[in-house]
Structure 1
Amino acid sequence: MIFEVWAPKATLVEVLVSGERRAMSPGEGGWWSGEVEGAGHGSSYAYVVDGDGPYPDPRSRRQPEGVFGPSMVYEHARFTWSDHDWKGRDLRGGVIYELHVGTFTTEGTFAAAIERLPHLVELCVDFVEVMPVAPVPGGRNWGYDGVDLYAVNETYGGPDGLKSFVDACHRAGIGVILDVVYNHLGPSGNFLHPFGPYFSGFKGSYWGDAVNLDGPDSDEVRRYFIGNAVQWLRDFHIDGLRLDAVHALHDKRATHLLAELSEEVDALACSVGRPLSLIAESDLNDPRMVRPLDAGGLGMTAQWDDDVHHALHCAVSGESHGYYQDFAQLTALAKVLTNGVLHDGTYSSFRGRRHGRSFAGVPGHRLVACLQNHDQIGNRPAGDRLPIVSLKLGAGLLLTSAFTPMLFMGEEWGARTPFLFFSDHVETELRESEGVRREREFDGFGYVWEAPNPSEEETFVRSKLDWSELKDEAHWSLLCWYRDLIALRKALPELSDPRLDRVRVEVDPLGKWLLVWRGTLAVTVNFSLESVTLPLSPGTVLLASDDPVTAVEDGLRLPAQSMAICRPT
Structure 2
Amino acid sequence: MTTVSVWAPEAHQVELECGGSRMPMDRRADGWWSLQTSRVMHGSDYAFRVDGNGPLPDPRSAWQPQGVHGPSRWLDHSRFVWNDAGWQAPPLAAAVIQEIHVGTFTPAGTFDGVIDRLDHLAELGVTHLELMPVAEFPGERGWGYDGVDLYAPHHAYGGPEGLKRLVDACHCRGIAVLLDVVYNHLGPDGNYLAQFGPYFTDRYHTPWGDAVNLDGPDSDTVRRFFIDNALMWLRDYHIDGLRLDAVHAIVDTSATHFLEQLAAEVQRLGRELGRHLVVIAENDRNDPRVARPVETGGYGLDAQWNEDFHHALHALLTGESDG
TM-score with structure 1 length normalisation? 0.56
Show the 5 A alignment for 1:345-364.
none
The CA deviation string for residues 346-386 of structure 1, in whole angstroms up to 9 with x for no partner, is xxxxxxxxxxxxxxxxxxxxxxxxxx33x321222xx3xxx
The number of equivalent residue pairs is 322
Q: Structure 2 CA distance, aligned partners of 1:212 and 1:85? A: 38
Q: Structure 2 CA distance, aligned partners of 1:76 and 1:136? A: 21
Match for residue 74 of structure 2?
73
Structure 1 contact 176–239 (Cα < 8 Å) conserved? yes
Structure 2 contact 135–152 (Cα < 8 Å) conserved? yes
Taking only aligned residues, the RMSD between alpha carbons, in angstroms, comes to 1.3
Match for residue 129 of structure 1?
130
Match for residue 248 of structure 2?
247
CA-CA distance at 1:85 after TM superposition: 2.8
Structure 2 contact 18–39 (Cα < 8 Å) conserved? no
Structure 1 contact 202–209 (Cα < 8 Å) conserved? no
Q: Structure 2 CA distance, aligned partners of 1:247 and 1:28? A: 35
1:379 aligns with 2:315: yes
Q: Structure 1 CA distance, aligned partners of 2:280 and 2:150? A: 18
Match for residue 31 of structure 1?
32
One-letter amino acid of the structure 2 residue matched with residue 34 of structure 1: L
Match for residue 94 of structure 2?
93
Match for residue 288 of structure 1?
289
CA-CA distance at 1:202 after TM superposition: 4.7
Show the 5 A alignment for 1:493-512.
none
Counterpart secondary structure, 2:295: helix
Structure 2 contact 45–71 (Cα < 8 Å) conserved? yes
Structure 1 contact 89–239 (Cα < 8 Å) conserved? no
| Greater Cα radius of gyration, structure 1 or 2 | 1
Percent sequence identity is 56
The CA deviation string for residues 291-323 of structure 1, in whole angstroms up to 9 with x for no partner, is 1112211011001134xx3xxxxxxxxxxxxxx
One-letter amino acid of the structure 1 residue matched with residue 138 of structure 2: P
CA-CA distance at 1:204 after TM superposition: 2.0
CA-CA distance at 1:126 after TM superposition: 0.8
Match for residue 208 of structure 2?
207
Q: Structure 2 CA distance, aligned partners of 1:39 and 1:294? A: 46
Match for residue 148 of structure 1?
149
1:44 aligns with 2:45: yes
The CA deviation string for residues 458-504 of structure 1, in whole angstroms up to 9 with x for no partner, is xxxxxxxxxxxxxxxxxxxxxxxxxxxxxxxxxxxxxxxxxxxxxxx
Higher normalized contact order (CA 8 Å, seq sep 6+, divided by chain length): 2
Q: Structure 1 CA distance, aligned partners of 2:246 and 2:314? A: 16
Structure 1 contact 135–154 (Cα < 8 Å) conserved? yes
Stretches of structure 2 that go unaligned for 5 or more consecutive residues are none
One-letter amino acid of the structure 2 residue matched with residue 26 of structure 1: R
Match for residue 258 of structure 1?
259
Q: Structure 2 CA distance, aligned partners of 1:95 and 1:271? A: 27
Q: Structure 2 CA distance, aligned partners of 1:285 and 1:103? A: 29
The CA deviation string for residues 211-252 of structure 1, in whole angstroms up to 9 with x for no partner, is 000000000000000000000001100000000000000101
Counterpart secondary structure, 2:43: coil
Counterpart secondary structure, 1:39: coil
1:175 aligns with 2:200: no
Structure 1 contact 61–71 (Cα < 8 Å) conserved? yes
Stretches of structure 1 that go unaligned for 5 or more consecutive residues are 310-371, 384-420, 422-438, 446-569
Q: Structure 2 CA distance, aligned partners of 1:202 and 1:129? A: 33
Counterpart secondary structure, 1:5: strand
Match for residue 366 of structure 1?
none
Show the 5 A alignment for 1:261-410.
261-306=262-307, 309=308, 372-373=309-310, 375-380=311-316, 383=317
Counterpart secondary structure, 1:150: strand
Counterpart secondary structure, 1:29: coil
CA-CA distance at 1:198 after TM superposition: 0.0
One-letter amino acid of the structure 2 residue matched with residue 215 of structure 1: G
One-letter amino acid of the structure 2 residue matched with residue 79 of structure 1: F
CA-CA distance at 1:203 after TM superposition: 5.5
Q: Structure 2 CA distance, aligned partners of 1:378 and 1:87? A: 32
Q: Structure 1 CA distance, aligned partners of 2:38 and 2:24? A: 14
Counterpart secondary structure, 2:54: strand
Change (3 A) 1:58 1:239: same
Q: Structure 1 CA distance, aligned partners of 2:259 and 2:150? A: 18
The CA deviation string for residues 422-474 of structure 1, in whole angstroms up to 9 with x for no partner, is xxxxxxxxxxxxxxxxx6x547x8xxxxxxxxxxxxxxxxxxxxxxxxxxxxx
1:110 aligns with 2:46: no
Structure 2 contact 40–46 (Cα < 8 Å) conserved? no
1:163 aligns with 2:182: no
Q: Structure 2 CA distance, aligned partners of 1:193 and 1:78? A: 32
Q: Structure 1 CA distance, aligned partners of 2:5 and 2:39? A: 16
Match for residue 58 of structure 1?
59
CA-CA distance at 1:37 after TM superposition: 1.8
Match for residue 224 of structure 2?
223
One-letter amino acid of the structure 1 residue matched with residue 278 of structure 2: S
One-letter amino acid of the structure 2 residue matched with residue 378 of structure 1: H
CA-CA distance at 1:254 after TM superposition: 1.4
The CA deviation string for residues 503-551 of structure 1, in whole angstroms up to 9 with x for no partner, is xxxxxxxxxxxxxxxxxxxxxxxxxxxxxxxxxxxxxxxxxxxxxxxxx
Which 4+ runs in 1 deviate beyond 6 A? none
CA-CA distance at 1:136 after TM superposition: 1.0
The CA deviation string for residues 319-347 of structure 1, in whole angstroms up to 9 with x for no partner, is xxxxxxxxxxxxxxxxxxxxxxxxxxxxx
Match for residue 4 of structure 1?
5
TM-score with structure 2 length normalisation? 0.97
